Amino acid sequence: MGRSVPGKDCLRGSSLREEQWKFRSLWFGIFVILLLFATVAYPPNTLPVRSMNIVLLAAAVWHLAIFFTPLAKKLGSTYDVVAIFVDIVFITWIVRLTGGFQSELVVLYFVELLLAAFFSERVQLLVTLVFSALGLCSSILTLHPPQNVQNSTGGVTVDLGHWKPEDLSALGVRTGGLISVYLIGYVGQWLRGRKPEEKTIPVTQTQATPEPLAEKPVVLKGREEPSDSESLSIISHELRSPLTILRAYTDLLMDPNRQESTGEIVSKIDEEVGELSGMVENLGAILDERKFSSTTAFEPLNLASLMQSLVEKHRSLSDQHQFVFECARREIPIHGDRPKLVRAFSNILGNAIKYSPSGGGIRVHVDLRPGEALEFFSASSTSVLPSHPFAVVKISDSGIGMSPRAISLAFEKFKRLDPERTQGIPGSGLGLYLARKIIEQHQGIIHLDSLEGRGTTVTVALPTRLEGGLVGQ
């Protein structure tokens, strides 16, 4: 069962996962249903059965208390000891249901505990399957021990006996017992929080510690869009970090006894001013977001030349990266809002630079493709016309890549993901969000593929014909 030690949870990060709570609730529900079933199926007509039911009831209450009250926090490691005791009682109960003591069930349970604690899910599954198979073979041999029988020719044959319906029933019950024990271990592993890695919510949302509005967490759960007040508080926080650094270095600069050189301090200040400027630019675009529909000014554009000029601009900004621009056509006509598209592609190119190591390659490929050929088209919910050609821009880098979770939230507002891996890389979590908004304004599709440690490819498809009749070619 859920043997996550509360004290240790606090140290690990204290993020009570949503799924963990769901599974705790699910597991508790299953436990209660089984308990009710046992009570009905085995009327308390004997002292041992009555005692067992009392113990089980106490166990259920105990689980309820430690799962859904703050008691678990106070118990610390005692929680583990008691939870194991409760599990043993539960196993005993299964043994009773399955008609007799089966040592393999108890041994398997402890194997599950060890596997869940020290090994991965796959190892646990493999060993459990092998163990279950051995247990079943053992059961079959116990039910029908092979006997050597003299045959008519004087030789010896092995007689496996004749199966009776009650034998099959006993085997079925025993198999059920093994499956039950496996499920206990498996659900237990989920409860330990190993399985669900996504959608973390901060403890402050589930526990009593009050969290002022201004200190709402940056990472929002699921695909929620932050409210206006949350956005403002996040923006305020985001701006405060570079301001803090700027103030620290300007104070140092004014200190006559400083040990750092002026050049070193000015370089830091310059770095932070650059960071602040990028934030302000993106924030300006966010403020304009609501005016998108009324202010978007579409005009005929040549995407090939626009992308080429953007690549040249970024090449001049970063001589640490190898840019490759590929476009087989001299002209790729679309209708679009030039400043907004420049903002969107600059954000994507900026990310490619930020998340690629020095010397890493950044490839920009531009082409014209029929709508039907867009393999990711079906996954999109935009209202583009699939029969029309699309201008497709692929921007690939050889950077640090993204985790599956980060990919799923990459286009959300204020999502700064994989904090451990992106530590030290400046960013506000607005770049890709803005890019998505702009591309959607152009009835286009934006798609992201990434492998951790291998790099990221962002694909943008823009229709050459806009809904409403504008033709770009």
Which residues make up the interface to other proteins (CB under 8 A)? 10-15, 200, 202-204, 207, 209-215, 217-219, 233, 236-237, 240-249, 251-252, 255, 258-260, 268, 271-272, 419-420, 423-424
Q: How far is the CB of 12 from other proteins (least distance, A)?
A: 6
Is residue 433 within 8 Å of 415, Cβ to Cβ? yes
Of 171 and 218, CB closest to other proteins: 218
- Residue 9 or residue 289: which is nearer to other proteins going by CB? 9
Closer of 11 and 287 to other proteins (Cβ): 11
Strands (E), 44-135: none
| Nearer to other proteins among residue 136 and residue 219 (C-beta) | 219
Q: Could you tell me the smallest distance in angstroms from the CB atom of residue 238 to other proteins?
A: 10
- Torsion, Cα 334 338 340 345, to 10 degrees, reads 70
Q: Which is nearer to other proteins, 90 or 249 (CB)?
A: 249
Spatial distance between the Cα atoms of 60 and 67, rounded to a whole number of angstroms:
10
Closest CB 302 distance from other proteins, rounded Å: 40
Strands 299-302, 147-150: pairing kind: unpaired
Residues in the chain: 473
What is the smallest separation between the CB atom of 416 and other proteins, expressed in angstroms?
9
Query: 3-state SS of the chain: helix, strand, coil percent to 5?
Result: 55, 10, 30
* d(C-alpha 225, C-alpha 289), whole Å: 14
Nearer to other proteins, 259 or 383 (CB): 259
Bridge partners of residue 369, in order along the sequence: 390
Tell which residue, 303, 299, 297, 290, has the closest CA to residue 332. 303
Considering the complex, what minimum distance in angstroms separates the CB of residue 368 from other proteins? 42
How far apart are the C-alpha atoms of 355 and 416, rounded to whole Å? 13
Query: HEC string of 261-322?
Result: CHHHHHHHHHHHHHHHHHHHHHHHHHHHHHHHHHHCCCEEEEHHHHHHHHHHHHHHHCCCCE
Which run of H or E residues covers position 393? strand 389-397
Residue among 354 and 365 whose Cβ is closer to other proteins: 354
The minimum distance between CB 54 and other proteins, in angstroms, equals 35
Which residues partner with 26 through β-bridges? none
Q: Compute the least distance from the CB of residue 75 to other proteins, in Å.
A: 13
State in angstroms the smallest separation of the CB of 166 from other proteins.
55
Question: Closest distance between other proteins and the C-beta of residue 191, in Å?
Answer: 19
Q: What is the 3-state secondary structure (H, E, C) of 196-260?
A: CCCCCCCHHHHCCCCCCHHHCCCCCCCCCCCCHHHHHHHHHHHHHHHHHHHHHHHHHHHCCCCCC
Scanning the structure block, which residue is given the tokens 């041992």? 48
Could you give phi then psi for residue 411, rounded to 5 degrees? Answer: -95, 10
Give the whole-angstrom CA distance, residue 108 versus residue 133: 12
Least distance (Å) between residue 241 CB and other proteins? 4
75/327 with CB nearer other proteins: 75
Largest Cα separation within the chain, whole Å, is: 111
Q: CB nearer to other proteins: give 104 or 272.
A: 272
Contact between residue 341 and residue 438 where contact means Cβ atoms under 8 Å apart = yes
User: Please, what is the minimum distance in Å from the beta carbon of residue 50 to other proteins?
Assistant: 41
Q: 115 near 129, Cβ under 8 Å?
A: no
Q: In angstroms, what is the minimal distance from the CB of 281 to other proteins?
A: 19
Nearer to other proteins, 268 or 314 (CB): 268
Distances (CA, A) of 72 to 10, 78, 204: 12, 9, 17
**Which residue's CB is nearer to other proteins, number 259 or number 387?**
259
Closer residue to other proteins, CB minimum distance, 258 or 454: 258
